[in-house]
Amino acid sequence: MSITFVGDTVALTGRSLRHVTRSLDTVITTALMPIALLLLFVFVLGGAIRTGTDSYVAYLLPGILLITIATGVSYTAYRLFQDLQGGILERFRSMPIARSSVLWAHVLTSLVANVLSLVVVVAVGLLIGFRSSAGPLAWLAVLGILVLVTLALTWVAVIPGLTAKTVDGASAFSYPLILLPFISSAFVPTASMPGPVRWFAEHQPVTSIVNAIRDLLAVRPVGADLPVALLWCAGILVAAWAVATAVYRRRGA
Amino acid sequence: MSAAVAVRGLEKSFGDLHVLRGVDLEVAPGTVFALLGSNGAGKTTLVRILSTLLRMDGGEVAVAGFDVATRGADVRRSISLTGQFAAVDEVLTGRENLVLVARLRHLPDPGRVADELLARFSLTEAGRRRAGTYSGGMRRRLDIAMSLIGSPAVVVLDEPTTGLDPEARLEVWDAIRGLAAGGTTVLLTTQHLDEAEQLADRIAILHEGRIIVDGTLAELQALLPPTRVERVEQPPALEDVFLAVIGSRRAAGDPTGQEAR
Ligand SMILES: Nc1ncnc2c1ncn2[C@@H]1O[C@H](COP(=O)(O)OP(=O)(O)OP(=O)(O)O)[C@@H](O)[C@H]1O
Ligand SMILES: [Mg+2]
């Protein structure tokens, strides 16, 4: 990692953070849909769901946080697409800067914006009765998992951002990501699902991530879910990073 | 002294479309070189190859002595491209755009660089506004100002005055003359013959994938039979009228403008 890489990434991150701070509504809209789901499930549907725990908010919150991230990263695809369309990306590419700093700046910006949205969602969770006796270390571990998820999904978002033909195409990839938690242990225990669905739910990344966060916040011993969750995140991160970087390089000399 | 830009046998195709079919050209350091060509002639393709944004299929291209195929990073340090469509960040202010580029060029005092350029391109007032609110001419000036940061040896301008009103056009011309006076090599593409006439030391015409003529204005003019000289009273050109009625500093400061024609 060279000095120019760090300096260039800092300069470009400052630039795209301004895009976030000058449209703070994106942080709010990112949080809006997950908050609506949270309220809907806790106050309307939750009463009919048997989770085997006494607080459905606590059961639900981890999945809602993942949905928040899935919504938030679509703004990265959007901003990258705009950069590409507006020609500013070409300008950066024709300049003597560390080339990968352009993508890293978008990824770091996504991290900041998503952490802000997550804070908003957790605050709403606290307002409607979410409580946790988890210590600072457990919270730090939860933050670490969420950061890792954000990094992985943002690198996924970079790919449509660079390849989409239309704005809608650039953000459409996030719909399946938002749906994935519904077929996991995020809303209802997987034991209630029919065979093949249950099998899918128990083997897709959301379930292990949600279970790990849930256990950490409930101060329960975390089982195999944590290593499985970390492996999923690391795997997606590396694969998406490799594809995104290759796509970025292929777009020019 | 070796050429600032040297292109030999440059080939480029997009699928079946053979856009550049063996382009040869040389731009001497410190000169202004105009590349003329109609729509789709391949001007943008050529300058994108020069600035390492596009890979060539064949031939040799060197900028400031660096081969674009193998010394990309050095080429990017030596050249700066103002693309055909202004590439500014619309969310940032004009000043922030300039500061960003100055930081990316690793200059010691980005703020001062930005302020100097804002003044030079009459954007000091607008510098605090988002670039998204700029008119086409202001945006273009900001775009060019961004390209000059770090004093690259070679400045490439792809149709820098397309879509500008006559006054903005003259401002851009002034900027280009200023660059040339400072010893910068300028390669500009244009469809306006008068632009090439006004600015260029050397003019080349790109047609059907090749450079079909290349020379000074006088050399190009010599290609055609001389026009007969007649003494007739000449009406002022539309451009002069336009500038006079909008009260431009040009028309006001140069009352002899039309007699000089
Ligand atoms: N990425 C691309 N893929 C396919 N065809 C392309 C691509 N870029 C340019 N072309 C084609 O190559 C030809 C030359 O294009 P280019 O943009 O270089 O022309 P130009 O001289 O700059 O034209 P103009 O004066 O309109 O800007 C055109 O026919 C164009 O459609
Ligand atoms: Mg062009």
- Using CB atoms within 10 Å of the CB of residue A202, give its burial: 0 to 12 exposed, 13 to 18 middle, 19+ buried: middle
Q: Taking a C-beta distance cutoff of 8 angstroms, is the pair B5, B80 a contact?
A: no
Q: Mean pLDDT for chain B?
A: 85
As given in the structure block, the two tokens for residue A124 are 């709403």
Angular region, B236: left φ>0, alpha ψ -120 to 50, beta rest: beta
Locate the DSSP E strands across chain B: 5-14, 17-27, 32-36, 58-63, 66-67, 79-82, 154-158, 185-190, 202-207, 210-215
Considering CB atoms only, which of B54, B81, B89 is closest to A88? B89
Q: Taking a C-beta distance cutoff of 8 angstroms, is the pair A208, A232 a contact?
A: yes
As given in the structure block, the two tokens for residue B132 are 């998204």
Ligand nearest to the CA of B39: 1
As given in the structure block, the two tokens for residue B233 are 């009273």
B71 interface with A at CB cutoff 8 Å = no
A18 interface with B at CB cutoff 8 Å = yes
A96 interface with B at CB cutoff 8 Å = yes
Ligand 1 pocket residue status of B84, Cβ below 6 Å = yes
Q: How far is the CA of A183 from the centre of ligand 1 (A)?
A: 47
Angle made by CA atoms A167, A169, A171, in degrees to the nearest 5: 75
DSSP annotation of B132 reads G
B92 interface with A at CB cutoff 8 Å = yes
Q: How far is A30 from chain B (nearest CA, A)?
A: 20
Please name which of A250, A102, A216 lies closest in space to residue B54, comparing C-alpha atoms.
A250
Q: In what order do the strands lie in the sheet with B5-14?
A: B17-27, B5-14, B58-63, B66-67
Q: How far is the CA of B31 from the centre of ligand 2 (A)?
A: 22
Please give the residue of chain A at the shortest CA–CA distance from B84: A87
Asked if B104 lies within 8 A of A252 by C-beta distance, the reply is no
Number of C-beta neighbours around residue B230 at 10 A = 5
Q: Taking a C-beta distance cutoff of 8 angstroms, is the pair B64, B151 a contact?
A: no
Q: Taking a C-beta distance cutoff of 8 angstroms, is the pair B51, A94 a contact?
A: yes
A88 interface with B at CB cutoff 8 Å = yes
Ligand 1 pocket residue status of B202, Cβ below 6 Å = no
B111 interface with A at CB cutoff 8 Å = no
Ligand 1 pocket residue status of B43, Cβ below 6 Å = yes
Cβ contacts (< 8 Å) between A4 and chain B: which residues?
A: 106
Top-ranked range on mean pLDDT: pick from A179-183, A240-244, B118-122, B238-242: A240-244
Q: How far is the CA of B48 from the centre of ligand 2 (A)?
A: 10
Cβ contacts (< 8 Å) between B87 and chain A: which residues?
A: 86-88, 90-91
Residues of chain B numbered 127-156 and touching chain A (CB < 8 Å): 146
As given in the structure block, the two tokens for residue B75 are 């080429």
Could you tell me the CA-to-CA distances from B251 to A28, A215, B234 in Å, in that order? 53, 77, 17
Q: Could you give the domains of chain B? A: 5-222 (3.40.50.300)
Ligand 1 pocket residue status of B162, Cβ below 6 Å = no
Ligand 1 pocket residue status of B41, Cβ below 6 Å = yes
At B240 the pLDDT is 62
**pLDDT of chain A along its 253 residues, tens only?**
566 889 999 999 999 999 998 888 877 888 888 888 888 887 777 667 777 677 888 888 999 999 999 999 999 999 999 999 888 999 999 998 988 899 999 999 999 999 999 999 999 999 988 888 888 999 999 999 999 999 999 999 999 999 988 888 888 888 888 888 888 887 778 888 888 888 888 888 888 999 899 989 888 888 888 899 899 999 999 999 999 999 998 875 3
At B241 the pLDDT is 58
Q: Taking a C-beta distance cutoff of 8 angstroms, is the pair B128, B93 a contact?
A: yes
Question: Which residue's alpha carbon is at the smallest distance from atom 24 of ligand 1?
Answer: B39
Tally A–B CB contacts below 8 A: 71
